[in-house]
Structure 1
Amino acid sequence: MLNLLALPLAVAAVYLQGSDTSIAVSPGARLEFSRYRGDISIGTWDRNEVRVAGAGGAREGWDIRVSGSTVVIGSGSGRGSRSPRGYSVTVPAWMDLRLVGMSGDVTVEGSEGRIEVETFQGDIVVTGGRDVSLRTASGDIRLAGARGRVVLATVSGDVEVSGAEGTIEAQAVSGDIRLRGIRSEDVVATTVSGDIEYSGSLVRGGRYRFSAHSGDITVRVPAGAGLVVDVSTFSGGFESEYPVALAPGGGRGRRFTFTLGDGGARLELESFSGDIRLIKP
């Protein structure tokens, strides 16, 4: 059964059990999940409606609350209900999304809105979005095609970003970071135990900072790129497929600085016990 609810900008609460539900929304509305256990898959369409479907049998339900322009969805708490094993949600592409206190995998496809996801456990996979913040204590993060400010963090897991445009900040405690096809003037990536790979723009006036305590750093440098490169390593090695000439006084122990081309961008590379490589595309 499909329930279609047209909800005004007022406080409302709806409990629905074992049903697909559609809610009419207006531009500027936001969707929130909070403190939920289970997998969530969010897709987009061109309708100004939010459609919710729970995975599992007819005894499963969910709560839907609307406050102002915010739609809040959570596990059902009514009589005879039990928490769904997962949700399939379809939202307008423009809709902002906020999912916090989650435990389970989260997938978002085709979003053009702001996205914030925080999970205790589970992988996060997002395609699209603007001003995206993805954080998990235990799980991998994969992001493609985002724009604006991007902040990604995992304690135990890998981070992979492709085709993103904007300011990028990626952090892992135990995991690799792979940044590919990036268009940015400001990129920061740090990991304690893992490797870092970067391929993307290195533009004049840009700053790119990569740090791995126990892991390798590999940067693909386009032909003709202008860089001032700062390298710091304790017990690792350094390799470059481009000729390197140290500036006077530029090399001290395992710290040194050199320039490629016109030196228009700044590239800072630091690894305590891993190798650092500059390679050609």
Structure 2
Amino acid sequence: MKQTRMTILVLFAILSLSTSYAQRQGASKSQSFSVTKGGTLEVSINSGSISIATWDKPEVTLKLGGMDLKDDGIDKLTISHRGNVVRVHDDDLWEYGEDVHLDVMVPDQFNLDLNTSLGDLTLRGTLTGNVEARTSAGEISLGDVTGSVNATTSGGDVTAGNLTGSSSLKTSGGDIRVSSCGGDLEAKTAGGDVRIGKVGKSLRAATAGGDITVDDVNGEATVNTAGGNIGVGRVSGNATVKTAGGDISLAGASGSVRAVSSGGNLTLHSVSGSLEAKTAGGDIRAELLPSGKGKSTLNSAAGTIRLYVPENAKATIEARIRVMGRWKGRNDDFSIRSDFKEEPSTREVGDREITARYILNGGGELISVETVNSDIEIRKLRK
């Protein structure tokens, strides 16, 4: 009898410990639904992270867990299945914190519409479908997506793998990283770096405070930062690149280029359209392939300008050095040098400026080069 009683007490103790452990780990709720490819998962919760993974089964499986969940909280979560749409939402009364987590398995061909007010959003694996992802406070991490993507967070990093469709990635405070995008891409952050691989169509990238690095863009590119360096690959179209405080590097462009820095160097390669290059405090190195598409200007408020053009280019180049401040009257300190023949009687040297003019192969589109208290070099572009 004593042995039986002792056995019962031991079993009761084990059961109590197991129950206590489960309570500490948080409650969970799991459901599965049969679906077909091309369906949609809609999730809208007030708090908690959402983690999605893909598989090759025609099934959506959801598991809910978290340290702060209670039985009455679970009951307030509604999971429904109608047609080929699975919906998960709460009744706006949840206040369990970010420890709540929803783990979901979906077919690898499915659409996602995810929304949480507090928590991270994660997609692991490869998905064919459109993705809407929104969080007010958390990070967004996406794998490879064949389809359009719209991802927005008010505070956190946004990362994505290879995207094939038109995509928009925005954060109010964090970095943005994209491996590649086959369609149009918009990437915008209010404070962080932006790293983007190849873009198949047009690009709009902006940050209020950070560096921007972009690979080749097979379309027009607009890139802006309020405080950082910018590096862009080859652009198949027009390019507008602006920074309020950093260097700009461009590997090439087949359209018109506008590159502006408030205090940095400009390095611009293989520009075959018109060029506007301007810096308030840095050097300019530009390779320009005149194509008759309009006037080009290179202007620095305090830096050396080196312009490279092909020997057979048809262009008219006007160079000017303004001599100001304590350098006034010291024109020997600055010079205009060129591999091309200078037009007779066009060089003027005065107390305030030095000018020269070059007509290449009978002349053509105007290229204006101007700097202050620095040198100008005009060289033959050798490939």
TM range (shorter): 0.7 to 0.9
- Letter of the 2:53 counterpart: L
SS of equivalent residue, structure 2 residue 115? strand
Give the superposition deviation at 1:210: 0.2
Q: Do the aligned partners of 2:314 and 2:363 also contact (CA within 8 Å) in 1? A: yes
**Partner of 1:147 in structure 2?**
236
Q: 2:123 aligned to 9, 20, 45, which one?
A: 20
Structure 1 vs Structure 2 CA RMSD: 3.2
SS of equivalent residue, structure 1 residue 243? coil
**Partner of 1:138 in structure 2?**
227
SS of equivalent residue, structure 2 residue 290? coil
Give the superposition deviation at 1:195: 0.3
Give the superposition deviation at 1:152: 0.6
Distance between the aligned counterparts of 2:176 and 2:278, measured in 1?
Answer: 33
Q: After superposing the two structures, state which structure 1 stretch, 213-222 or 231-240, moved more.
A: 231-240
RCO greater where, 1 or 2, for CA within 8 Å and sep 6 or more?
1
Q: 2:358 aligned to 258, 261, 275, which one?
A: 258
Q: 1:271 aligned to 368, 371, 374, which one?
A: 371
Q: Do the aligned partners of 1:37 and 1:103 also contact (CA within 8 Å) in 2? A: no
Q: Do the aligned partners of 1:131 and 1:149 also contact (CA within 8 Å) in 2? A: yes
Give the superposition deviation at 1:258: 3.3
**Partner of 2:336 in structure 1?**
238
More helix by share: 2
Change over 3 Å in CA distance of 1:91–1:243 after alignment to 2 = closer
Q: Is 2:322 the counterpart of 1:221?
A: no
Q: Do the aligned partners of 2:178 and 2:195 also contact (CA within 8 Å) in 1? A: no
Q: Do the aligned partners of 2:337 and 2:377 also contact (CA within 8 Å) in 1? A: yes
Give TM-score, length-normalised by structure 2.
Answer: 0.56
Give TM-score, length-normalised by structure 1.
Answer: 0.74
Distance between the aligned counterparts of 1:111 and 1:205, measured in 2?
Answer: 25
Distance between the aligned counterparts of 2:188 and 2:176, measured in 1?
Answer: 15
Give the superposition deviation at 1:114: 1.8
**Partner of 2:53 in structure 1?**
2
Give the superposition deviation at 1:257: 3.1
More strand by share: 1
- Letter of the 2:162 counterpart: T
Q: 2:271 aligned to 182, 190, 195, which one?
A: 182
Distance between the aligned counterparts of 1:276 and 1:148, measured in 2?
Answer: 28
Give the superposition deviation at 1:100: 2.6
- After superposition, the C-alpha distances for 1:48-68 in whole angstroms (9 at most, x for unaligned) are 5xxxxxxxxxxxxxxxxxxxx
Change over 3 Å in CA distance of 1:168–1:35 after alignment to 2 = farther
Q: Do the aligned partners of 1:36 and 1:102 also contact (CA within 8 Å) in 2? A: no
Change over 3 Å in CA distance of 1:250–1:116 after alignment to 2 = same
Q: Do the aligned partners of 1:36 and 1:101 also contact (CA within 8 Å) in 2? A: no
Q: How many residues align?
A: 245
Change over 3 Å in CA distance of 1:41–1:264 after alignment to 2 = farther
Structure showing greater Rg: 2
- After superposition, the C-alpha distances for 1:193-240 in whole angstroms (9 at most, x for unaligned) are 000001141234542210001001001121122221112211242111
**Partner of 1:63 in structure 2?**
none
Identity %: 20
Q: After superposing the two structures, state which structure 1 stretch, 109-118 or 154-163, moved more.
A: 109-118
Distance between the aligned counterparts of 2:114 and 2:293, measured in 1?
Answer: 51
Distance between the aligned counterparts of 2:232 and 2:291, measured in 1?
Answer: 22
Q: Do the aligned partners of 1:146 and 1:165 also contact (CA within 8 Å) in 2? A: yes
